[in-house]
A and B are shown apart, each in its own frame.
Chain A
Amino acid sequence: MQIFVNLITRAIFMSTPLVLGALGEVLAERTGMMVTAIEGIFLVGAWGGFIGAYLSGNLLIGFLLAMVCGLIVALLYGVTTIYMHQHQIVMGTAVAILVTGCCTFFYRVIFGIQTVPLKVSILKTIKIPLLSKIPIIGQAIFSQNLVTYFTYILVPIMFFVIYKTSLGLSMRSCGENPEAADAAGINVTRTRFLAVAIAGCLGGIAGAYYPLCNVGMYNAEIIGGRGWIAFGICFLGNWNPVGALIFGVIFGISDALGIFVRAMGTSSVPSELFSALPYILVIILTVCRKQFNVPAKLGANYVKED
C-alpha cells in the first residue's frame, strides 16, 4: 500500500512540469501557434533557474530568472513567426537548437568545466494543514511543493479563461478562423503574441522544476525530450486544460514507475525500458487517438492582406 501511495506521490510530483508546460502549449495552440520551441523553452528555463538559484542562493530568484529566460526564447519565436511570418515548425526547431548550444556555452562561460557537479538545495515540500492528514491523497496531493500546487490551481483557471471568458473566445477564434476574428475587431497578432508569451513563462518555470525541485543540479541533458512530451500531452489532451492534466498524470506515472524500478534495482526488466516508457507512450497514444479537435488553423501564420 505504501508503495502505491509513494508511486502516486511521485507521479504527481513528476507530472507537474509536464502539465505546466502543456497548459502553456494549450493556450498558445488554441490561438493557432504551434510552439515547437517548447523543448528549448524548457531547457532555457532549467538553465536560467539553476543559475539564478545558484548565484543568488534563492530559489525564488531562480524561478523568476527561469520565467524571464523562457519568455525571451518565446518572444524570439513569436517575433519571427507572428511578425516576420516565418514557418512555425522550422523556427521553433531552430530556436530549440540554438538554445541548446547557448545553454551549454554560457554555462561553461559562467562556471567553467566542473569535475563535480554544482548543487543547489531543492524546493521543500509544504504539507497543507489538515488536508495532508487525509489518508492516501493527503500525502499524494497535499504534501507537494509550491510549484505543484500552483500548477493544479492553474488547471481550472485556464479552463475558465478559455471557455468562459471573452478573452478565451477571442483566443479560440484566432486559432479556428483568424480572418473572422480579425473582421470582428480582434487583434490576431497581439492575441497570438500574448498566448506565446504566457506559454514561454509557464514553460520556463516548468523547465526550472527539474533542477530546482527534482535533482538540484544542472546538465545539458536535464530536459531530455520532456518539452516534447508536454507538447504531445497538449495534443493528447485535445487542447483542453483538463485533458492536459489527465495525460500529464499518466506520463507522471510512467516516469515514476521508471524511477521506482531503477531504485529497486532487482527487476529482471531493464530499467532503460521504463525510462523510455514516456516516449513510447507518446507514440502509442497519439496513434491510437481517433478523434482530434485540432484548432483549424494550428501552425498556420496569419498574414493580413494589404
Chain B
Amino acid sequence: MNEPVIELKHITKRFAKVLANDDVSITIHKGEVVALLGENGAGKSTIMKILYGLYHATSGEIWIDGKERKIATPKEAMDAGISMIQQHFSLVPAHTVTENIILGNCKGKLDIKKKEKEIQALAEKYGFQVPAGEYVKNLSVGTQQKVEILKALYLNARVLIMDEPTAVLTPQEIDTLMEFVRRYVEQGNSVVFITHKMREVMAVSDTIVVMRNGSICGTVKKTDTSEAELAHMMIGRELETLEKPGTEDMSNRRVRLAVKDLSIKPKDHTPLLEDINFEIHEGEVLGFAGVSDNGQQELCEAIYGGIPITSGKIELDGEDVTNESVKDRIKLGMGYAAADRYRYGMVAEMSMSENMLLKSSYLNKWVNHGLIRWSALHRYTEDSIKQYAIKAPDHTVTAGSLSGGNQQKMVVAREVDMGDKLIIFDQPTRGLDLGAINYVHKTILGERDKGKAVLLVSTELSEIFALSDRIAVLYKGKIMGIFKNGELTTEKIGLLMAGVQPEKEGAES
C-alpha cells in the first residue's frame, strides 16, 4: 500500500447535545478510493465536513502528509489539496461555469475570456462536455456535478471527497463518473466516496469504512467482504426480505386510475407533460422511472389536481375527476405523499396530531360541527405512531422534531388512510435509511394487496424494480414505454431514461 495522505485521528464532534462523531479514525492512502458507507445520520458527511473545514472537531487530530494540520476553513483544506463535492452543490446558478470555478481564486481585474479558455481546455482533458461560458442554471444536474469536479481539478486537488455523488445521475452518467474516479486515482490522487448504496461501493472502492451512529463499526478491504456482510455491519440487524412483485397478469382487473392524453403545455415553455396515457388496475403498482425533473412531479400534481392541465382526462374508478378540486379528489379517496414532504406534506411547527388532521380538516372524520374532536384525533395519532413504529414520544411533539425517516412514516400513515382508491408516492424513500425504506416498502406492498392502485415515482431503480408490477419510463414529459417488471434490464431502462429508444427486441408491452 502507498503512503497515507490523510489520517484522521480520534475525531469526536458534538453538536450541542448530539454526538455526531465518536472517536472516528480514518486513513486515506495515495491512489486509493475509500468508500464511506452508512445509513443517514451515521455521521459520514460530518466527519468529511470536518476534514474539509466546514465543521470543527470537538477533539481529535488531522494529519496530512505525516504532519498535524489544523483546518479551520474550506480555503485551508483546498490549500492542502482537499476538495469536497457536497450533496447540495456549492454553485451559483446565476453565474457562468467559469465564474463559478474561479470564484475565490482570482485577484483584481478579471480576464474572463482567458479563464474560459483555460477551463474549457481542462474540461476537454478529462473528457467532460461542459460549456465554460454557459450559465450554471441552464445545465443539467449531471453537468453541474462535472462543474464541481472541474472546480476541484482547477485547484489541483489530490483528495476529492464526494458526498452521495450518484443520487442525481442516470446509470450511464454513473458509469462515466466511475470511469473518471478510476482515471483520477491512477494519477496518484485519492477519492472518498460517501454513499449508502452497496452496488457503487463494490464497483469502485478499494477500502470500505462502515459507519453507524457516529462511530466506525468496521474498516475492510473490498476483496475481503461481501454485500451481505456490509449491509449487516451498516444496519446492525437483518432486514425483512420483501416478496418480489408477482408476474401475474392484471390487465383483466378493474381499472382504478385511467389517464388519457394528458398534456401540460405552458406558454413559452417546452411541454411539461405530453400525451400521457396509462391505467392502473386494482391491486397494482405502476412505477415511474426516470431522472428527476422529467415531469414526474407535474404528473403527480396533475393527477392530484394541484396544477391545471392543458388537455386530457383523468378518471378514478370510472368517474371523471378532471375538473374536480384537490379537496374533492381527497374526498374521493386519493392519497398523495409528495417528494418534498417537508414543503408539501407537513407543517414542521405543528404537533403530530395537527399534522395528521392536515388534509381532513374539512371532512367529518375528526371534525364535529366545526369543532375538532381532539381526543379521537389523539387516539388515532397514537395508534399510527404504534402501528408504523414512528420514533416519537407522543402525539404532542412537533413534526419538525422528528427525524426525516419518521416524518415520512407520519406522512405515509396519513396518506395511506386518505387514499382509499389511489395512493401516489413520489420518491417515498428519498433521504431515508435502509430500515425506514424497508418499512415504507412493506407498507406500499401491503396497501397494494388491499386492492388499492399505487402510482410510484422513484429515481432509484432498485426501488422501482422491487415494488412495481409494471414500469413506465418518463423522459422530458413523455412516456418512453410501459413494461412488465422483469422485461427490462438495467441497461435498457438506463437508455430509456436518457431518452434513447433501444432496439426493439420483444420489449413491447
Contacts and interface: CB of A to CB of B under 8 A. Distances in A.
Interface of A: 164-166, 169-170, 172-173, 176-177, 179-186, 293, 295-296, 305-306
Contacts, number: 72
A225 to B, nearest CB: 31
A181 B54 contact: no
Given A176-B94, A184-B74, A170 B54 contact: no
Interface string B326-346: 000000000000000000000
Contacts of B93: 176-177, 296
Contacts of B92: 172-173, 176-177, 180-181
Interface stretch (B96-104, B284-292, B436-444, B483-491): B96-104
B199 interface: no
B55 A305 contact: yes
Nearest to B99: A169
Given A165-B109, A165-B110, A170-B104, A180 B55 contact: no
B104 A306 contact: no
Contacts of A305: 54-55
9 contacts: A170-B104, A173-B92, A173-B103, A176-B93, A177-B93, A179-B88, A183-B74, A295-B94, A296-B94
A115 B20 CA distance: 70
B103 A181 contact: yes
A179 B103 contact: no
Contact of B95 (A166, A173, A179): A173
B132 to A, nearest CB: 15
Given A176-B95, A177-B90, A177-B93, A169 B103 contact: yes
Contacts of A173: 92, 95, 103
Nearest to A294: B94
B107 A166 contact: yes
A67 to B, nearest CB: 26
Contacts of B78: 185
Interface in B92-142: 92-95, 99-100, 102-110
A182 B74 CA distance: 8
B56 interface: yes
- Top 5 nearest A-B pairs (CB, nearest first) are A185-B75, A184-B104, A180-B90, A166-B106, A176-B92
A179 B84 CA distance: 13
A177 B110 CA distance: 20
Contact of B105 (A179, A183, A184): A184
Question: Which interface residue of B73, B108, B110 has the most chain A CB atoms within 10 A?
Answer: B110
B358 to A, nearest CB: 27
Q: Is the interface of B mostly helix, strand, loop or mixed?
A: loop
B91 interface: yes
Contacts of B88: 179
Contact of A183 (B55, B90, B99, B108): B90
A182 B90 CA distance: 9
A179 B107 contact: no
A164 B91 contact: no
B70 to A, nearest CB: 15
B41 to A, nearest CB: 16
A181 B151 CA distance: 13
Contact of A184 (B15, B103, B108, B110): B103
A58 to B, nearest CB: 37
A180 B103 CA distance: 9
A180 B75 CA distance: 12
A177 B56 contact: no
A306 B20 CA distance: 12
A169 B94 contact: no
Given A184-B103, A184-B104, A166 B74 contact: no
B74 A185 contact: yes
A172 B95 contact: yes
Nearest to B56: A306
A296 B94 CA distance: 8
A306 B74 CA distance: 14
A292 to B, nearest CB: 12
A165 B111 CA distance: 9
B53 to A, nearest CB: 9
Contact of B55 (A181, A182, A306): A306
Given A176-B93, A180-B90, A169 B102 contact: yes
A46 to B, nearest CB: 36
A300 to B, nearest CB: 14
Contacts of B106: 166, 169
Contacts of B110: 164-166, 169
Contacts of B109: 164-166
Nearest to B73: A185
A278 to B, nearest CB: 30
Contacts of B104: 170, 181, 184-186
A293 B109 CA distance: 24
Contacts of A182: 74
Given A172-B92, A172-B94, A177-B92, 15 more contacts: A165-B109, A170-B103, A177-B90, A177-B91, A180-B89, A183-B86, A183-B90, A184-B74, A184-B75, A184-B104, A185-B74, A185-B104, A186-B103, A296-B93, A306-B56
B55 A166 contact: no
Question: Which interface residue of A166, A176, A180, A181 has the most chain B CB atoms within 10 A?
Answer: A180
B368 to A, nearest CB: 40
B109 to A, nearest CB: 6
A165 B54 contact: no
Contacts of B90: 177, 179-180, 183-184
Question: Which interface residue of B55, B92, B105, B107 has the most chain A CB atoms within 10 A?
Answer: B92
A295 B15 CA distance: 31
Given A180-B91, A183-B90, A306 B54 contact: yes
A93 B422 CA distance: 50
Contacts of A177: 90-93
Nearest to A180: B90
Contacts of B105: 184
A183 B78 CA distance: 10
Interface in B50-98: 54-56, 73-75, 78, 86, 88-95
Interface string B406-450: 000000000000000000000000000000000000000000000
Contacts of A186: 103-104
Contacts of A176: 92-95
Contacts of B103: 169-170, 173, 180-181, 184, 186
Nearest to B94: A176
A121 B477 CA distance: 70
Nearest to B55: A306
Contacts of A185: 73-75, 78, 104
A177 B100 CA distance: 11
A169 B56 CA distance: 28
A222 to B, nearest CB: 38
Contacts of B91: 177, 180
Nearest to B90: A180
Nearest to B101: A184
A102 to B, nearest CB: 37
A164 B106 CA distance: 11
Contacts of A184: 74-75, 90, 103-105
Interface string B343-356: 00000000000000
